[in-house]
A and B are shown apart, each in its own frame.
Chain A
Amino acid sequence: MDERPLTGPGETTAVVGHRASAATRIEPRIYGLMAEFETPDQLLRAARAAREAGYRTMDAFSPFPIEGLHEEVGFHRTRLPAIVLIAGTVGALTGFGLQYWVSKISYPLNIGGRPLNSWPSFIPVTFEMTILFAALSAVIGMIVLNGLPMPYHPVFGAPRFAQASQDRFFLAIEAEDPKFDREETKAFLESLNPSAVSEVDL
């Protein structure tokens, strides 16, 4: 996946430093800077420090969920609950409407002398349709809002990033962040005691 040779923290810094000095003239655009940590604790502290330093556009990568982390990286509100609510309501109306239309309008049939609009018996199907629509919209909405499927993402290019699903913890500060500055941000990340800091190409 990664063409670059695996390097230790010192070497990475050297490479990055070299590139940065060259960039004063060319300034190629990058995705951002990625710091690698060995414990979830360090990641959490780093995310908090970055937040306090004023960084907002960042993301964290960890093999397992860490409580409190999503607040630190400024995980914003999603539109998913509203989508699910609307879909659930549509499901309820569809479920009830279908039964009402079938039994009362399209094909009225006397069953045991009950009224044609026997709403109590319509409730179970209405309920099931609500759940079905809500659940499907939650799954599909989650996938779409996350921009999945995503065969490639710039962070995949970060050194040892595959470890993020095993035993390493990463914090990425994106170049889009208004406070982002290649040199300053790098120095800042290095002050957080990471095991490595690297630039992530677009």
Chain B
Amino acid sequence: MMNAEVSRIDLDRIQKWALIVGGLAAIVSVAGAFLDPRQFFHSYLLAFLFWLGITLGSVAVLMLHHLVGGMWGFVIQRVLETSARLLPLMALLVIPILIGLPFLYEWTHSDHVDPALEHKSLYLNTPFFVIRSVIYFAVWILLAYLLTRWSRQVDETGDGGLVARMEKLSGPGLVIYAITMSFAAVDWVMSLEPHWYSTIFGMAFMVGQGLSALAFAVVAVRVLSDRKPLAQIILPKQFHDLGNLLLAFVMLWAYIAFSQFLIIWSGNIPEEAVWYQHRLQGGWQWIALVLITFHFGVPFLLLLQSRAKKRASILSKIAIGLLLFRVVDLFWIVAPALHRESFFIHWLDIVIPVAVGGIWLGAFAWRLKGTSLLPLRDPRLVEALSYREEAAL
């Protein structure tokens, strides 16, 4: 009982402070919107993409967990589900982007005389863009709703049939996620520079989202890991598994980011190379170097060591670092679309992610309260635990 009380108070405090900081930052951001609307919407897009990455990535990792199983998934399942339940919040947060379309995307201007954009206008036009965004969120919210609802019912009934249903949904669900997210990445980000295209772009986004979600889950589980019933279950081995997954995502991110670069570098065609030209000149190349070093090199070397993975305190610090460089990665993708000549960071690029993040974290803490931190009646977990108890005898 004592433990439950303590965790309740902690989450209350996290919720309160997150909302206060988020609210203040939001007020400042709104002021920024009047001062420099173009900058505001670009910074807002950055914030939206980062927090959507954790939310939607959580749905994807959750489906991965249902498909492949394993103890690592059960210890983060409730964190992932709580993030996934914030998708309706992210759906509300897409509205400012739809309002700011003319400030973000040059293809929205009907006065353009660019023949290439003329041809693309069949796909890149405002009504279709809005409809697509609505469809993406409808599909994602449905996926998240079914998975979290069934999971809660399993908590009440321990029904194995529902578990089978979650597993059955997860396979097609991941395919649906891959398709919708590919389109969403094209719409929201790639069309910032509408002449440019890269077929691996959606995949790069998905890997980034998976990495964000996993890193966030590691941090959250670390914060919650001294609480019952999580504390009784979680072992260094689970952090080791999560660390290995983080390592895999870090490598996959580098692999895909480099694949895109190598293909465009080899082709050396102006309409493709221009995207990298905006991002490897005028100071932006230093951000690229920072990404190679701290989004790949350093975490890669750290995560190779099993000591770093088994200790929750070290692993969660690496995860926090990765989350930070997820923001930098998105900043490097989004911001040069506005500042093509040279490196520029606006104070809104920091304030708006904090604003959205405060609101998001407040909602997360609020949603997490009252949920058991483990799906204790899930037959798969029951089986895994009974095996472990047997082994511990």
Contact residue among A66, A85, A121, A123 (Cβ-Cβ distance under 8 Å from B391): A66
The answer to whether the Cβ of A44 comes within 8 Å of any Cβ in the partner chain is yes
The CA of A123 and the CA of B263, in the complex, are separated in Å by 12
The answer to whether the Cβ of B388 comes within 8 Å of any Cβ in the partner chain is yes
Bitwise, B227-268 to A at CB < 8 A (1) or not (0) is 000000000000000000000000000000010011001101
Bitwise, A123-146 to B at CB < 8 A (1) or not (0) is 110000000000000000000000
Size of A's binding interface in residues, CB under 8 A = 13
Size of B's binding interface in residues, CB under 8 A = 14
Q: A44-B393, A120-B261 are in contact. Are A67 and B387 (CB under 8 A)?
A: yes
The CA of A81 and the CA of B266, in the complex, are separated in Å by 35
Q: How many A-B residue pairs have CB under 8 A?
A: 25
Q: A67-B387, A67-B388, A85-B304 are in contact. Are A121 and B393 (CB under 8 A)?
A: no
> Would A67 and B391 count as touching, CB distance under 8 A?
yes
Within 8 A of B (CB), among A95-143: 112, 120-121, 123-124
Within 8 A of A (CB), among B263-280: 265-266, 268
CB contacts (< 8 Å) of B262 on chain A: these are 120-121, 123-124
> Would B393 and A45 count as touching, CB distance under 8 A?
yes
> Would B265 and A120 count as touching, CB distance under 8 A?
yes
The answer to whether the Cβ of B113 comes within 8 Å of any Cβ in the partner chain is no
Of B258, B262, B391, the most chain A CB neighbours within 10 A belong to: B391
The answer to whether the Cβ of A68 comes within 8 Å of any Cβ in the partner chain is yes
Bitwise, A72-109 to B at CB < 8 A (1) or not (0) is 00000000010001000000000000000000000000
The answer to whether the Cβ of A27 comes within 8 Å of any Cβ in the partner chain is no
Residue of chain B at shortest CB distance from A88: B304
Within 8 A of A (CB), among B162-176: none
The CA of A11 and the CA of B83, in the complex, are separated in Å by 64
Residue of chain B at shortest CB distance from A113: B268
CB contacts (< 8 Å) of B388 on chain A: these are 67
The CA of A31 and the CA of B306, in the complex, are separated in Å by 34
Within 8 A of A (CB), among B118-137: none
> Would A68 and B392 count as touching, CB distance under 8 A?
yes
Residue of chain A at shortest CB distance from B304: A85
The CA of A67 and the CA of B268, in the complex, are separated in Å by 53
CB contacts (< 8 Å) of A68 on chain B: these are 391-392
The answer to whether the Cβ of A38 comes within 8 Å of any Cβ in the partner chain is no
Within 8 A of A (CB), among B345-393: 387-388, 390-393
CB contacts (< 8 Å) of B304 on chain A: these are 85
> Would B393 and A41 count as touching, CB distance under 8 A?
yes
The CA of A41 and the CA of B392, in the complex, are separated in Å by 9
Of A120, A121, A124, the most chain B CB neighbours within 10 A belong to: A120
Within 8 A of A (CB), among B295-348: 304, 306
Residues of B whose CB lies within 8 Å of any CB of A are 258, 261-262, 265-266, 268, 304, 306, 387-388, 390-393
Instruction: Known pairs A67-B387, A67-B388, A120-B261; list 9 more (Cβ under 8 Å).
Output: A41-B390, A44-B391, A66-B391, A68-B391, A85-B304, A120-B258, A120-B262, A121-B262, A123-B262
Residues of A whose CB lies within 8 Å of any CB of B are 41, 44-45, 66-68, 81, 85, 112, 120-121, 123-124
Closest 8 CB pairs of A and B: A68-B391, A120-B265, A67-B391, A120-B262, A45-B393, A44-B391, A41-B390, A123-B258
- Name 6 A/B residue pairs within 8 A (Cβ), A-sorted: A44-B391, A45-B393, A112-B268, A120-B262, A120-B266, A121-B266
